[in-house]
Structure 1
Amino acid sequence: MESVLVLDFGGQYNQLIARRVREAQVFCEVKPCTVSLEEIRRGNYAGIIFTGGPASVYAEDAPRAADGLFDLGIPVLGICYGAQYTAYTLGGVVSPAAKREFGRTEISVKPSLLFEGVPKDTLCWMSHGDQITKLPEGFTISAESSVCPVAAMENRMRKIYCVQFHPEVMHTPEGSKMIHNFLTRVCGCKGGWKMSSFVEDTVAALREKIGDKKVLCALSGGVDSSVAAVLVHRAVGKQLTCIFVDHGLLRKNEGDEVEEVFRHQFDINLVRVNAEERFLSKLAGVTDPERKRKIIGEEFIRVFEEEAKKIGAVDFLVQGTIYPDVIES
């Protein structure tokens, strides 16, 4: 399955970039920029997209990707900070801009695979205080604005393309076309991926990996653990047991609703643990929100462990984590 990696450098639009890629019917994953070179190699990605970010690339604590990434030969699209990071890493110069650009900006584009089908003069969304002031060797300018001489640059031979603006936002009218051009004309992606096929592929992969072994899931009723539980159940059915720790902090009747959905609608093996008194006694008198969070998390694990021991030996533990939590963790 063809896939693209979105490397997160701390930008606020990382999930939106991933959405645009999926809208082009190409599967993608979002991972922190600190992911290892070996993990990137194993991913066999058709392309990599660098997100924006609030840092300055020349700062000592600026986020950086693994050394050697540009030597993998994988096509790269750098967006905003990602463009500056590319320039800086490959020997160019990034400096504070004499005039910062924020908001809608008109740019002029030059002939490029990235801009095929895009009018020569087009609007985009800029949001940057630094800019590329010297190109790395082998790069050419492919777009400019009245105050930003390097609104886009590229090294067509190495399949590295960079834009100072944000093609992923709706304020860049031709942005989706630019991302589509990168995916199809630069990365060679054919498209055709759909969310339904992702579910089918994931269930098949789980069934093959788990075989006839037992699986245990800590179910909170939230979207992440719930989706994970249903996917595994589709794959192995009654081999899965879910432990639902009801700590008494859910909305009114929500614990009953979770039990109804998973025990009766999905017919999943469900163990409901009513631990309301235990949790509330631990939280009594505690006012600091962070301390409350830690107490709830610690007690949840302890209750889960106690119930898991009653079930006996299992072979796999299910964990579901939504993308924002993966990045934050």
Structure 2
Amino acid sequence: MIEGILILDFGSQYTQLIARRVRELQVYCEIIPYNKPLEEITHFKVKGFVLSGGPLSVFDKEAPRVDVLALLKKAPVLGICYGMQLLAHALGGEVKPAKHREYGWSEVHWEEPLLEGLERQAVWMSHGDLVEKVPEGAQILAYSQGSGSEASCVAAFRGQGFLGVQFHPEVSHTQKGKEILKAFIDFCGVQTQWSPPQIIPHLIEEIQNQVGGEKVLCALSGGVDSTVAATLLTQALGYNQVRCVFVDNGLLRKNEFQDVLKMYQDLHLNIEGVDASSEFLSRLKGVMDPEKKRKII
């Protein structure tokens, strides 16, 4: 069975970036809503959990939560931003609202570097709470310069089977962020030979289970997302079960409609090209407002 990292999504705008960075390290991973039952994850072996950031505070009544202790019994846990605060809060540490929200660039000073030579690091912060006290037995690894009257804040800590970072290692603004993710992955002992094509058999099986013998109509835009979707559908269900449609709305580049249509034919898709350019352009005639144009299109 394939091994991987499971990312629990708490609503961060960067959650997809976490997955991208993990996959760039040749490790399989999936994103699930924070409240999805772990018992449903049966198709790969979870070797580590990542708790994403999120827009809420751990003090909010509607704040998303998970059973951190239950996770730690299964595999190591990395908490990022809100995920770090959730770790601290759940394991007996103290979290408090910051007097000044820390957003943007910050410098982190490592007292116990995760990586060799990582004494100082430029990172990207986005949080309104801070960890006042780490859980019992946990070790503070780094401090940030803080904001306003808060001269320094806990930026990273670790304990038995868990690591928390207040900053976002997944974004490009954070120096050596991917290396920090790799350090966690190495700690989890997860296999690092995964590549994107390995996900195809699983996706094909999912499509076959969901669609069964039904016919599928797939609209294509000429872009990567819809092309990949149509190709996977055709591989899973066969040529005759998937009908694809590509519409010329009159706003494509010269010869683009014909070129894209030929590309789809070369991919052996059951494709039909529809020239609706006259209808689109007549509806757009005289319209100057960009928002109105968007809605018409």
TM bucket (normalised to shorter chain) is: 0.7 to 0.9
Query: What CA distance in whole angstroms lies between the structure 1 residues aligned with 2:291 and 2:211?
Result: 42
1:249 to 1:74, Cα distance in 2 relative to 1, 3 A: farther
Give, in angstroms, the shift of residue 38 of structure 1: 4.1
Superimposed CA distance per residue, residues 12-68 of structure 1 (whole angstroms, 9 cap, x where no aligned partner): 332322222112110222334344444456664222212223432223343x14x43
User: Of the candidates 151, 154, 161, which is equivalent to residue 150 of structure 1?
Assistant: 154
Q: Is the 8 A contact 1:7 1:30 kept in 2?
A: yes
Q: Is the 8 A contact 2:79 2:163 kept in 1?
A: yes
Which residue of structure 2 lines up, in the alignment, with residue 130 of structure 1?
129
Q: What is the RMSD of the two structures over their aligned residues, measured on CA atoms?
A: 3.7
Query: What CA distance in whole angstroms lies between the structure 2 residues aligned with 1:240 and 1:8?
Result: 34
Mark the runs of 5 or more structure 1 residues left unpaired by the alignment: 297-329
Which residue of structure 2 lines up, in the alignment, with residue 311 of structure 1?
none
Superimposed CA distance per residue, residues 147-179 of structure 1 (whole angstroms, 9 cap, x where no aligned partner): 3342212221xx221011222234433322221
Which residue of structure 2 lines up, in the alignment, with residue 197 of structure 1?
198
Task: Map 1:195-234 onto structure 2 (within 5 A).
Answer: 195-199=196-200, 201-202=201-202, 205=205, 216-221=216-221, 222-234=223-235
Superimposed CA distance per residue, residues 197-254 of structure 1 (whole angstroms, 9 cap, x where no aligned partner): 334x357747986999575241222432210111233455434422316273652555
Letter in 1 for 2:162: I
Letter in 1 for 2:4: S
Task: Map 1:177-326 onto structure 2 (within 5 A).
Answer: 177-185=179-187, 187-199=188-200, 201-202=201-202, 205=205, 216-221=216-221, 222-235=223-236, 237-244=238-245, 246=247, 248=249, 250-252=251-253, 254-263=256-265, 265-273=266-274, 289=291, 293=295
Which residue of structure 2 lines up, in the alignment, with residue 96 of structure 1?
97
Which residue of structure 1 lines up, in the alignment, with residue 110 of structure 2?
108
1:52 to 1:275, Cα distance in 2 relative to 1, 3 A: same
1:203 to 1:21, Cα distance in 2 relative to 1, 3 A: closer
**Bigger helix share:** 1
1:283 to 1:42, Cα distance in 2 relative to 1, 3 A: farther
1:215 to 1:135, Cα distance in 2 relative to 1, 3 A: same
Letter in 2 for 1:219: A
TM-score (ref. length: structure 1): 0.69
Q: Is the 8 A contact 1:109 1:120 kept in 2?
A: no
TM-score (ref. length: structure 2): 0.76
Mark the runs of 5 or more structure 2 residues left unpaired by the alignment: 146-150
User: Of the candidates 99, 116, 119, which is equivalent to residue 118 of structure 1?
Assistant: 116
Give, in angstroms, the shift of residue 124 of structure 1: 3.5
1:245 to 1:238, Cα distance in 2 relative to 1, 3 A: closer
Superimposed CA distance per residue, residues 108-129 of structure 1 (whole angstroms, 9 cap, x where no aligned partner): 2327xxx1x3336221414233
1:281 to 1:71, Cα distance in 2 relative to 1, 3 A: farther
